[in-house]
Amino acid sequence: MATLGNKQATVSGNLMSPKYHCEKCDYKCRKKYNWELHLQTIKHNTINICQNSAETSKNWQKLAKNVIYCCENCDKEYTDRSGLWKHKKKCDNINKSEINNIEMQKHNLELQKQNLELHKQILEICKNLQPGSINNSHNHSHNKTFNLHFFLNETCKNAMNISEFIENISLQLSDLENIGKLGYVEGVSNIIIKNLNALEVTQRPLHCTDKKRETVYVKEHDEWQKEEENKKHIRQVISNVVSKNMKLLPEYQSKYPECMNPESKKSDEYNKIIMESMGGGMDVADKNKEKIIKKVTKEVMVEKEE
C-alpha cells in the first residue's frame, strides 16, 4: 500500500487492500488517478500548510529563546535587551574615550614625523646661506647665549625638572567643570599657568626667551635644554592635564548622578566636559594645543636687561 506521511507513498503487495493511503487526510484509494486527484484537493493542501506553519512557528520560538544580545564595543553577551542597554550606557563612554586617545596618539606621531622632515629642510637651506651671514648670526647668538647661560644655570639653578612639575600638578573638580564652561584652550591654559604662577620665577621648569620665535628652554634631568620645535615637553604637560581631568569624571558622576540620564541638563554639561577635555574634537585638537602653547610661553617670558 502507498502511504503518504513524510514520504509520498509505499506500495503494498496485498491486492485487496488500498494501494494508496494519505495518513494526514485519512484517505485511501486503489487507483492512481484518484490518488493524484486527492493530492490536488483543498483539504490535503490546507493540512500540509498548517502543519508546516506550526513546525516553523515552533522552530522560531526555540530560536527566540536562544537569542544572545552582544555588545559591539566589548563583545560582552546578554540574554535580554535591557541588560545590553544598561551595559552600553557605560561602555559607550569608555569606548569613545579610548578611541579618541588612540586617534590623538596617532595624530601626534604623524605631526612629529612632519616636523622632523621640516627640520631637515631648514638645515639644508642653512647650508646654502653665505658664509658671512652665518658667522655674523653665530656671533650675535653667542652673545645672547652667554647671558642666557648665566640666567639658567646660575639664577635658576634650583628650578624643578619639568617631569616633577607634571607630577605635582593638582586638579580639583572645579577645574574639570571650568573646561566645560570655558572650553579646552582656556580651561587647560588656566590650569597650567595657575600651577606655574604658584612657583617663584627661578623655580619654574621652563622659560621663553623669544616670544616671536617661541624659543623655550626646559629643565629636565637637572639640565637646561632648548625645547624642540614641536614643543614636546609642553605637549606632555598638556596631555597630563587632560589625563588628570579624565580621572575626575567618576567624581563628577558621583556628585551629579543625574548626568547619566540622557534627558537631563546635567547630561548635556557632562558630554560637553568630555568633548572639551579631549581637545574640542579631533579636527581642531592640534590647533587648540598650539593655542595653549602660545598662552603658556607668553606667561613664562624672560625679562631681559639690555
Q: To which H or E segment does residue 250 belong?
A: helix 249-255
In a domain, 218, yes or no: yes
C-alpha cell, 100: 579618541
What does the H/E/C string look like for 100-150? HHHHHHHHHHHHHHHHHHHHHHHHHHHHCCCHHHHHHHHHHHHHHHHHHHH
Question: Could you say which DSSP state residue 167 is in?
Answer: H
Q: Number of folded domains in the chain?
A: 2
Residue written as grid cell 586617534: 103
Question: Is the same domain home to 50 and 154?
Answer: no
In a domain, 111, yes or no: no
* Domain limits for position 10: 2-65
User: 206, 234 in Cβ contact below 8 A?
Assistant: yes
In a domain, 226, yes or no: yes
In a domain, 249, yes or no: yes
Given this model, what pLDDT does residue 165 score? 93
In a domain, 112, yes or no: no
pLDDT of the chain, 306 residues: tens digit per residue: 555 543 344 444 444 566 788 887 777 787 777 777 778 776 667 666 556 555 555 554 554 455 566 777 666 777 777 877 777 777 765 556 666 677 777 777 787 777 777 667 667 766 666 554 444 444 444 444 447 888 888 889 899 999 999 999 989 999 999 998 999 999 999 999 999 999 999 999 999 988 888 889 999 999 999 998 888 999 999 999 988 988 999 999 999 999 899 888 988 998 888 888 877 666 677 888 899 999 999 999 887 654
C-alpha cell, 106: 596617532
Final residue in a domain of this structure, among 12, 42, 65: 65
In a domain, 135, yes or no: yes
Question: Is the same domain home to 148 and 18?
Answer: no
Question: Is the same domain home to 12 and 157?
Answer: no
pTM over cut 0.75: no
Question: Is the same domain home to 56 and 134?
Answer: no
Burial of 227 (0-12, 13-18, 19+ CB in 10 A): buried
In a domain, 305, yes or no: no
Residues 193, 172: Cα–Cα separation, whole Å? 15
Final residue in a domain of this structure, among 65, 80, 98: 65
